[in-house]
C-alpha cells in the first residue's frame, strides 16, 4: 500500500489544491491531506473549520483521508507509514521555497521522497492568500474554491448570497 502525505495550511482549501490531490490519487493507493498546525500564525479559518471544509471538499475521493498534525512533517510521515510527500508546483516562484523544504525533509529522513505535481494551467495564479483577499474585498471566488468554501468565506465576511 503506497501512502502519500499532502501537507499544507489549506486556509482555505482551493480548487488548485483539489487538482493536485486528484493527480496524487492516480499515483498512490492512499493520500492523506493534512493541515500542519501552527503553520500559519493568524489563520482566517480555525483548524476545526479547515478540517470540516476539507472533509466536505474531498468526500468524493475514497482513497483520501483528512487529518492534521503537529511537529515535523517527516515524523508525521513515519507514523503514517507514508513513502512520499506531495506538493503542488505552480510557477518558478514556488520553486526555491519548495526545493529548500524538500531537501531539508530529505536530510531529516532520506526514505521519504517529495513528489511535485503541476496543477492545470488555469490554477497557476491561484493561492489561498489571494482567495482570502478577494473574498474579504467582496469579490466573487466561485471559480476558485469548492462551493462549501465559498459559502464559508461569504459567511466569514458577512456577504449575502449572490
Ligand atoms: O501550505 P504551506 O503553508 O505552504 O505548507 C507548508 C508546510 C505545512 C508543508 C510546512 O510548513 C511544513 O511541513 N510544516 C511542518 C513542520 C516541518 O516539518 N517543518 C520543516 C519543513 S523543512
CATH superfamily to which 3-120 belongs: HUPs (3.40.50.620)
Model confidence over 119-158: pLDDT tens digits?
A: 999 999 999 999 999 999 999 999 999 999 999 999 999 8
Cell (9 digits) for 64 = 483520501
Is 90 catalytic? The answer is yes
pLDDT tens-place string over residues 35-51: 999 877 899 999 999 99
Report which ligand 1 atom has the smallest distance to the Cα of 71: 16
Residue 39, pLDDT score: 77
Please give the mean pLDDT across all residues of the chain.
95
Question: Which residue CA neighbors atom 5 of ligand 1 most closely?
Answer: 8
Separation in Å, CA 90 to CA 4, 110, 140, 160: 19, 25, 22, 32
Nearest protein Cα to ligand 1, atom 8: 8
Would the CB of 82 count as within 6 Å of ligand 1? no
Buried b (16+ CB within 10 A) or exposed e, 12-42: bbbbbbbbbbbbbbeebebbbbbbbeebbee
Mutation choice for ligand 1 from 101, 109, 114, 130, CB with most ligand atoms inside 8 A: 101
Distance (Å) of CA 137 to CA 82, 133, 140, 154, 157? 40, 6, 9, 11, 9
pLDDT at 40: 76
DSSP secondary structure, 25-77, as one string: HTT-SEEEEEEETTSSSS-SS-HHHHHHHHHHHTTT-TTEEEEEE-S-HHHHH
Q: What is the model's pLDDT at position 114?
A: 98
Higher-confidence position of 51 and 93: 51
Domain residue extents for the chain:
3-120
Amino acid at each position: 500500500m503506497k501512502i502519500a502525505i499532502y501537507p499544507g495550511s489549506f486556509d482555505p482549501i482551493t480548487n488548485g489544491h483539489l487538482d493536485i490531490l486528484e493527480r496524487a490519487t492516480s499515483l498512490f493507493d492512499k493520500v492523506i491531506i493534512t493541515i500542519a498546525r501552527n503553520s500559519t500564525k493568524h489563520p482566517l479559518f480555525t483548524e476545526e473549520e479547515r478540517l470540516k471544509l476539507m472533509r466536505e471538499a474531498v468526500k468524493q475521493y475514497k482513497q483520501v483521508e483528512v487529518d492534521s498534525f503537529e511537529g515535523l512533517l517527516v515524523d508525521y510521515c513515519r507514523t503514517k507509514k507514508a513513502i512520499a510527500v506531495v506538493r503542488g508546483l505552480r510557477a518558478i516562484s514556488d520553486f526555491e521555497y519548495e526545493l529548500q523544504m524538500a531537501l531539508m525533509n530529505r536530510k531529516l529522513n532520506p526514505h521519504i521522497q517529495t513528489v511535485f505535481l503541476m496543477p492545470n494551467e488555469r490554477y497557476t495564479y491561484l493561492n489561498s492568500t489571494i482567495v482570502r483577499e478577494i473574498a474579504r474585498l467582496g469579490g466573487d471566488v466561485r471559480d476558485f474554491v469548492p462551493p462549501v468554501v465559498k459559502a464559508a468565506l461569504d459567511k466569514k465576511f458577512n456577504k449575502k448570497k449572490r
